[in-house]
Amino acid sequence: ELKEEFTRILTANNPHAPQNIVRYSFKKRAYKPVSYVDQMAIHFSLNGNMILKDSDEGRRQSIRLNTAAEKAPTETSAETSEEAEIKDEEGAGDTQATGEEEAEESGAGEVTEAEEAEEPPPPGVKEQKLANQFNFIEQATRTLNNPLRDKACQSEPTPCKDFSATANQWKIYDAYVEELQKMERSKEKEKPKAQVAKKEEEKKKGRKLTSLDLQGDDITKISRAAKIMERMVNQNIFDDIAQDFKYFEDASDEYRDQQGTLLPLWKFQYDKTKRLAVTAISWNPKYKDLFAVGYGSYDFMKQGQGMLVLYTMKNPSFPEYVFSSESGIMCLDFHNDRPYLVAVGFYDGNVAIYNLKKTTPQPSYKSSAKSGKHTEPVWQVKWQKDDMDNNLNFFSVSSDGRIVSWTLVKNELVHTDVIKLSAEGTTMQGPEGLQLQTLGCGTSFDFHKKIDYLFLVGTEEGKIYKCSKCYSSQFLDVFEAHHMAVDSVSWNPYHLKVFISCSSDWTVKIWDHTVKTPMFVFDLNSAVGDVAWSPYSSTVFAAVTTDGKAHVFDLSINKYEALCTQLVVAKKKNKITHIQFNPVYPVVIIGDERGHVISLKLSPNLRKMPK
């Protein structure tokens, strides 16, 4: 096989040239194949300006140079010789095209060095340099490069040709320089006066840097180093918990018949939030160890101030950020693309945006009675994609039956009512026989992960409305979901048709939004405060009940019972309010009515990845 010969004939044809070009023939009124195909392939092409000596053009240029050198070197004689040459050429009846004549003129200065060496100019006669006709610059246009003063021109008894124009320019320039120098001198005189006046004012006021100011500057300088030291100390104190978080896997899960456990890790608490309930929890989308906790009260008779506190798992002993508010915080949400922005809803019906980059304790933007705030508590807020003008935008739902879109326009929150929940069949008898329609009370909502306009709203009456941002007066569908208030409703992050709801009627239900009846119903024997889908599996979810228990389900393993039901807080008048899965780590955080947040690690049986 190796000795076998393959003959290959090399031709001058271009292999890339098309062989089947067809052109329309107007004579025969039909398409005809082109027989001739251009086979030339040009790899490099460069247009030069060199001229052969032996060519007619080269001889003509050499003659022109010789005649110019022989005649007088003055400008007038050179001009007359050129004119004579042009006349001679015209009289000779040169029939070359105008394009060639232009090429001759442009190439007049392009004679090779070898040619000049062969025909040197006669001694004693100064060689006339030909001016470049295409390098014409007006002196007046060169404003940036000021022409130097021509001393030679000034010293001569008869001024140069352009001296008068240049002298005028320099007079104007000198006048401007004098004016600028005067202005600088006056500023320098004013400076010491102003400094003296300032010193006198300071003396009068008696302004002196206090020790507190200096101390504040020192604290800001070492704050970063102190924070790192604090985290290191905490890591040493809670070393056993950090080791459990990182490495511990419950080996006894193998013998539990697919049951699982929750291992308690850090407990987060702050002295000023002891009498407040945890009303909202949210993980930061960028920093996976950071989470925000909203504090307020669900009791109508115990309303007071609220707090927004941010903790990190790196420092369980003290919060990273603390913001206090006049009204209780009922909900919060981090912006997905701008993780330093937190939208917050209050018990008094206001909404606000906190900026973590700013050190001020007050929110950066807040609604008011003038800007259309809710008249009842705001139960949930959710960030949306920025609008067409790249303005920040989030939605809120409240007990007053309004779902409102808030847009940040020119540092103000502008509201737009998206939909009003009307309770069907509930009309009140008003004065003089008027029929008044009562509004439904929204308690929770969630937006579809893929279909941007689709969202669900849970109400106090137990109904779940499927709504669209496009329709403000009607619903896409209504689910008769629960007998009591819907505490939470959430779309599945993986299965686009499925959502989950929980209620104070002790049940958790899983739905297909195209079907009116639930697919799964779980009775947990106590009011369910919150439910959350896991970020790692479409079949795992967790719920918390008011009797202090956390329940973790995996529908791929058991469709009827929870894989883990564990008491998280003691029953002494304490209730669990919220639960959230960490987006990366196998950890859940649970908040209660005493202001405590506890983190728990899921055992291997509770975090099995789907096949």
Give the pLDDT score at 30.
92
Dist. CA 166–CA 440, nearest whole Å: 87
Cα dist. 399→37, 62, 377, 379, 506 in Å? 81, 100, 6, 7, 21
Is 280 among the domain residues? yes
Give the pLDDT score at 224.
79
Is 140 among the domain residues? no
Question: How many domains are there within the chain?
Answer: 1
Among 406, 404, 423, 409, smallest CA distance to 472 is for: 404
Dist. CA 513–CA 491, nearest whole Å: 10
Is 127 among the domain residues? no
Dist. CA 489–CA 608, nearest whole Å: 24
Give the pLDDT score at 587.
92
Is 67 among the domain residues? no
What pLDDT digit, counting tens, does each position of 265-298 carry?
889 988 888 888 899 999 999 888 899 999 998 8
Torsion of CA 205, 210, 212, 218, to 10 degrees: 120
Note down the domain range covering 284. Answer: 252-606
Dist. CA 292–CA 334, nearest whole Å: 8
Give the pLDDT score at 291.
93
Dist. CA 531–CA 552, nearest whole Å: 10
Contact by Cβ (8 Å): 448, 454: yes
Among 566, 444, 423, smallest CA distance to 500 is for: 444
Give the pLDDT score at 245.
80
Is 94 among the domain residues? no
Counting Cα atoms < 13 Å in the Cβ hemisphere of 209 gives 5
Is 28 among the domain residues? no
Dist. CA 413–CA 127, nearest whole Å: 81
Contact by Cβ (8 Å): 593, 279: no
Is 392 among the domain residues? yes
Give the pLDDT score at 92.
46
| Main-chain dihedrals φ then ψ at residue 128, nearest 5 degrees | -85, 120
Cα dist. 39→32, 47, 515, 563 in Å? 20, 22, 70, 78
- CATH for 394: 2.130.10.10
Give 10-residue mean pLDDT values along the chain (611 residues).
Answer: 86 83 90 86 85 87 86 52 50 44 43 45 57 57 53 48 63 88 84 68 52 61 81 84 80 78 88 87 90 88 86 88 89 90 90 86 83 85 84 87 85 82 57 56 85 86 84 78 88 89 90 88 89 90 90 88 86 84 91 89 83 71
Is 525 among the domain residues? yes
